[in-house]
Homo-oligomer: A and B are copies of this chain.
Amino acid sequence: MPYVTVKMLEGRSEEQKKALVEKVTDAVSETTGAPKEKIAVFIEEMSKNHYALGGKRLSDE
């Protein structure tokens, strides 16, 4: 605890994901005081046909 979920479009590289979880963990630890080893980060990827803004899927634009 804390538990952080990052939901984003698929397509980021492994290097980006690796940096993402590192930097997010640092940010949460610094601002909440939680020790880093207690912070979990989950990445959830969405495909373009499963995400819509304004009623239109990204895959339909």
Contacts and interface: CB of A to CB of B under 8 A. Distances in A.
Interface of A: 1-9, 12, 14, 16-28, 30-34, 36-46, 49-57, 59-60
Given A1-B40, A39-B53, A42-B50, 9 more contacts: A2-B7, A2-B8, A7-B42, A8-B32, A17-B57, A36-B55, A41-B55, A42-B46, A43-B49
Assembly stoichiometry (copies):
6
A38 B28 CA distance: 19
Contacts of A43: 49-51
Contact of A9 (B1, B7, B9, B49): B1
A28 B53 CA distance: 12
A29 to B, nearest CB: 8
